[in-house]
Amino acid sequence: MIDTARLLAETCVRNVEWLDEVGSTNDRALQLSIDPLIETPYLVGADRQWAGRGRGSNQWWGADGSLMFSIVVGMSALNLTPADWPHFSLVTGLAIAETLSKTLPGANVGLKWPNDVWLEGRKVSGILIEQCERQSDRLIVGVGLNVNNSFATAPAELKGIATSMVDAAGGTEFSRTDVLITFLTCWSELTEQLARNKLSLVERWSRLCVLTGHPVTLTNGNQETMGVCAGIDADGALLLRTAFNLERHYAGTVRRLD
């Protein structure tokens, strides 16, 4: 069970709604975000989701023991604008990576542009950022993090690409409240640094990038680009060195070829 009183007392969130189950916490957060009077950051979480959404047309499979939550963020209250969206998404990934490094010291933690976090070479977390159409100042930051949901008995194809914190810890379970508090603390510190222009985002992100120096394909719609990843730039774009030049990409899905 999530200790919502602790979340309110120990973190930056002003409101918490934690549900037994919901279709998608992002959908619930989008609903709440329409009300101009709600105080943000507003955290919405659920123990189960039956219609969890991922990027594009992907679904998010959320098993018991994982963390699934969305934060309604008022960008101006954080001294940011919705144009900071690409940075915000990278900051959220960085905060998850820091949470993992603090909770699992010595673990191999990585970031895969734009929105995935890896643990021991496999995906442990995904981020879905959306904009509230009726309140243009507000973003929804959706996070799925595999905490106590083991993949040990999952089908081989899933086991090869996904993992959880409990798997990386050899079966030791974690307090989901503690993990969430660590995340929210890292996230609010990084967000504050971003707003004050005090965050070396490219440098900190690049240290953890699992794509830099590797051959990749980037798919965006029906366009496919092959190249070697040269990291990210200050706009949050992915840099690809192709046979012809250095290209910047702002959207797409990347697959590592080695």
Q: Choose between 26 and 191: whose C-beta lies nearer to ligand BTN.
A: 26
Contact 165, 104 (CB under 8 A): yes
By CB under 6 A, the residues from 164 to 223 that bind ligand BTN are: none
Q: Rule CB under 6 A: choose which of 11, 13, 18, 26 binds ligand BTN.
A: 26
Q: Rule CB under 6 A: choose which of 52, 74, 227, 236 binds ligand BTN.
A: 52
By CB under 6 A, the residues from 115 to 144 that bind ligand BTN are: 116, 126-128, 142-144
Contact flag: residue 70 with ligand BTN (CB under 6 A): yes
Nearest one of 249, 209, 205 to 226, comparing CA atoms: 249
59 contact partners, CB below 8 Å, separation of at least 6 = 51, 52, 53
Q: How many CB atoms lie within 10 A of CB 164?
A: 24
Q: Choose between 105 and 221: whose C-beta lies nearer to ligand BTN.
A: 221
Q: Rule CB under 6 A: choose which of 24, 33, 89, 212 binds ligand BTN.
A: 24
Q: Choose between 75 and 128: whose C-beta lies nearer to ligand BTN.
A: 128
DSSP 81: -
Contact pattern from residue 76 through residue 95 relative to ligand BTN, giving x for each residue in contact according to CB under 6 A and a dash for the rest: --------------------
Nearest one of 160, 150, 166, 53 to 100, comparing CA atoms: 166
Residue nearest to ligand BTN (CB): 126
Helix ranges (H only) for 80-134 are 85-103
Contact flag: residue 60 with ligand BTN (CB under 6 A): yes
Edge-to-edge, what's the strand order for the sheet holding 238-241? 246-249, 238-241, 223-232, 215-220, 253-256
- Which positions lie near ligand BTN, rule CB under 6 A? 24-26, 49, 52-55, 58, 60, 62, 68-70, 116, 126-128, 142-144
